[in-house]
Amino acid sequence: MAALLPGAATLGVLGGGQLGRMFVHAAQALGYRCIVLDPDAISPAGAVAEVHIKTDYLDSFGLAQLARDCDAITTEFENVPALALQTLAGMRVVAPAAAAVAVCQDRAVEKAHFEAAGVPCAPHAVITNDIELAAVDPALLPGILKTSRMGYDGKGQVRVSTPAELAAAWADLKRVPCVLEQLLPLQRELSVLVARGADGQIVHWPVQQNLHRGGILAVTEVPAPDVPAEVDELAVNAARQVAAALDYVGVLCVEFFWLTDGRLVVNEMAPRPHNSGHWTMDGCEHSQFELQVRALAGLPLPEPRQHSAAVMLNLLGDLWFTEQGGPTPPAWDRVLGLPGTHLHLYGKTEARHGRKMGHLNVTAATPEAAHAVALRAAALLGLPTDF
């Protein structure tokens, strides 16, 4: 397609969450108008877009309006119905494509894609019925049983150690299709962001080192402080292979496990910008959201250059609650008094435990300096300092 030039086009987003909000901000900075479709009347992205279509994702009238008024359309989360993307693709440019998003929506299909792309993933078994349950190789235990669909941030996941525990866990998960993954000894969790255009051009950001707590990303550090050059290269090449094999258009995040024996295995992927890439907003010449806009609009994709070492702290709603009660905003004035701190709140009107409310980026000239300030910020916020 011909490029959609800034100032002369309207971009659409399915989904009104914080990722959509940051996409809209990036698009508007380049001069695009934005329309968000989301059923929530007070969604973060809907609050900043020029137009907010308040309908369900499969509402025919809402989709028709989005297609009529937009020149190209993307999604801000992977669980948007693939049918909505297919419907829109019959009328407008849609990126990423419904087929690519559908792969990311099903863990079993996703793992088959990794294997077909020549990228190793954890040993696993697909469980959809009693016969497959009984046939599970005991060598996969202990493992993690994950629902094939709709699992994120640690939801829909159960650790199991014995065949009896596996059977009980599958029953607790309502016997929905699941994937059992062998529990592997981790050295670090890593991720790689790539951006790919419709013309096949592909660029990537530096490897990101991640720390999760309770299944939710808590801290990202870039450059990845503990990762040798050969592992870095393996991760980047694998992420590029995964994106190319999908014929992907847009920003894609591929998450990896770096094992204690030195092996690198892919964990999962997200067909959108990712929490672990939020540091790019302040530590890089081009953020993940700007390149999401560029890929959708058919603009050139510059190779992202990191200009500052960065640490990202995820900010959950728990920070608004203290022993004295809540919700009360944290002491942002003290945190923002630290050098190189950049606060991004998502415009959510209600703080809740476990809810993603924002993130704090810390940038500095060296990784050591960024790490030191991030530790001070975490201490001020009452966050763990185990990174």
Q: Which of 113, 46, 92 has the alpha carbon at shortest distance from 254? A: 113
User: Is residue 347 a known part of a binding site?
Assistant: no
Cβ-based neighbour number of residue 344 at 10 Å? 18
Let me know: does 256 contact 270? Beta carbons within 8 Å: no
Cβ-based neighbour number of residue 149 at 10 Å? 15
Q: Could you please report the per-residue DSSP string of 187-241? A: EEEEEEEEEE-TTS-EEEPPPEEEEEETTEEEEEEES-TT--HHHHHHHHHHHHH
User: Is residue 267 a known part of a binding site?
Assistant: yes
User: Is residue 184 a known part of a binding site?
Assistant: yes
User: Is residue 182 a known part of a binding site?
Assistant: yes
User: Is residue 107 a known part of a binding site?
Assistant: yes
User: Is residue 183 a known part of a binding site?
Assistant: yes
User: Is residue 368 a known part of a binding site?
Assistant: no
User: Is residue 221 a known part of a binding site?
Assistant: no
User: Is residue 146 a known part of a binding site?
Assistant: yes
Sorted by sequence, the CB contacts under 8 Å of residue 90 that are 6+ apart come out as: none
Q: What DSSP state is assigned to residue 90?
A: T
The two structure tokens encoding residue 317: 């709603």
Cβ-based neighbour number of residue 372 at 10 Å? 16
Let me know: does 210 contact 191? Beta carbons within 8 Å: yes
Cβ-based neighbour number of residue 134 at 10 Å? 10
Q: How many helices (H) and strands (E) does the chain have?
A: 12, 18
Let me know: does 283 contact 310? Beta carbons within 8 Å: yes
User: Is residue 157 a known part of a binding site?
Assistant: yes
CA atoms within 13 A on the CB side of 288: 25
User: Is residue 204 a known part of a binding site?
Assistant: no
User: Is residue 189 a known part of a binding site?
Assistant: yes
User: Is residue 212 a known part of a binding site?
Assistant: yes
Binding residues for ATP: 107, 146, 151-157, 181-184, 189, 212, 267-268
Binding residues: 107, 146, 151-157, 181-184, 189, 212, 267-268
